[in-house]
Structure 1
Amino acid sequence: MQLPYVYRVTKYDPADRDEHGHYTGSEDTVSDHGEVEASYLQAVAAFAGDSGVDHLAVREPQVPSLAHFGVEPPVDGFGLDGLFPGGPTGFHDGAEVPLEIGLQLVRAMLRDNGAWCRLEAEGAFAVHVGWDQYLYISSSRPCEEALAHTRELGLFPERLDASPYAFEAEEEEQVIQRPGDDDFWADLHRAVVTGQAGILEETYLEGASRWHHLTSDTIDPVRAGLAPRARLAVWPPLSTDIDAVLRALPADGLVEGVWQDDDGNIRNAIAEEDEFPELAARISRAHAAALLSVYAGESVPLCTAVLPDNDGVLRARWRTEPTPGDRDWALRQPQG
């Protein structure tokens, strides 16, 4: 839902922009970790207060995967340490946080610590951070007091039609998104028992995933331990022919290795060609393994799903890339 009042809040004086809107002044594009950063956070608090909001929901959270593109280097824990009672696992889509924790997340994003998300109060307020200390705030109210306070802080709020970082859903989904509901898990159990499926990839944050070994005995414990609203991908069993897996290692490019250690845990690593020797060494000691291409369309899971909330409603906005198995499932669903 697009809120009616959208503002870009920055430390950049509009008078220092050229005819294309590009900033030409002397302000740095990184956080000062001090007074200016504190002003940004005070501005967010002021807009939230004017909007009648004291709690926020984490939406579309992400962390760096292959590369970190922030100006400042990432930090251990991606800036999440100490923010959630249960640790970083509390950082998931739909997590409700008090405004104070929301401000700490905004601080982490301003500092390019690694973690990123949208923070929202449905129908009332939203805030997220873009590149180069650009802050975007949306509200159901004009927030005139917050605007005045933000200017007093030395920042520059500017009205926009929409944030360039607002979530954009597909206008019309080509394939219905399958929920990870009871029917999905019943189908998965059958696929595991018949030997078609063997591992489950859980993407719990954009840029972060973990893998689970599936047997008829482990499916229920795996399901119980998944992060809320995670994206799921079901893959065939790993191969115990380790020599064949190693022979399939490409000469160059990127590849994801997935393997099962002797302790039964599933490990994975995305490697570039100069890291292939280390990846090969790890796989050579594995009980079973597989190599997956990271390039679109080259390695396709059997099927995918997104976890619904406990009431059965699919509130996550992110979607999985439909597979042939997903399309077959969608065709079997009642129309209309």
Structure 2
Amino acid sequence: MQKRIILQRIFLCVLLGYLCPFRLLAQDHYQVKALADTDKIRIGEQVKLELSAKVDLNQLKAASLRLTFPNLPDSFNHWEVVDRSKLDTVTNAGNNETFFKQTFTLTSFDSGRWDIPALRFDVFSPAGMVDSAFSQPIGIDVNTVTVDTTKAFKPIKSVRTVAWNIWDYWLYMAIGAAVVLLALGLWLYFRKRPVKEKVVPAAPLEPVYDRTLRLLKELDAEKVWQQGNVKEYYTRLTDILRTYFEEQFGIAALEQTTAELLQNIKPVTILNQQRDKLRALLSLADLAKFAKLQPTPQEHEESMHKAVEIVEWTKPAAKPAEAQNA
């Protein structure tokens, strides 16, 4: 039993021998401090809390130690953290010392004397051992606003009129000017843009049959042969008929002789039925144009009548809708 107690004491001494040098070494090479810029405030006012640490880099690097700053919660002991600055580092090249500093902005909404507790700075060794250094607690009085109850309450002040300033409305004026400029630009654009011409629907084409009869009547009304222009009269008369045959029946009548034309109308039954009239008309016209024959007035009129009869005989059949309208 006594031997067991002796072994426990030896183990304890060895453990303290390992721990104590680490604590003494660490605490000798850094200093921590917490300072407040005031010791009294009114409710809602702010106080600056500055945490600082002075570190001997030569010793810390030799001992391979690492220092960490306290991490304050957003609310603690009647205090609230309004803002926290970044950790600031300043190195003194002369003695190789480094100063670490961090500032917290605190406020309180509870009246009384409240302490900012001692804050812990941790030092870690490579072996995983942890040593801590603590700052001194700081007491700060949080006072209420002093109210003199002996004096009468002051009346509520009336609404004051603020002087008008044009620069208070610059944004609205800029938006209004932009809208006006946009509207003006659109107006100018649409005003100068060329107006599309209205497309006038094309007049319906005159049917070949109607146009041919109209041309024949116009030729008859001009009294061409009565004025002595016999060749012109028969030339225009036959050209009107030949054009009618080309457009109505697809026969190249303008390029063919009288004999060729009479031969090519045989497949067209309705036109071939007027073969004798057409032969007589074309033969007389050829004599008048090329042989300088002078037909009688009766022959002139009969030629016109034959042309009209040939066109009316070959009039195309009306479509069902046209026949109903008629």
* TM-score with structure 2 setting the length: 0.18
* TM-score with structure 1 setting the length: 0.17
Task: For CA contacts below 8 A with separation 6 or more, give which structure has more relative contact order.
Answer: 1
Higher relative helix content: 2
Q: Whose radius of gyration is greater, 1 or 2?
A: 2
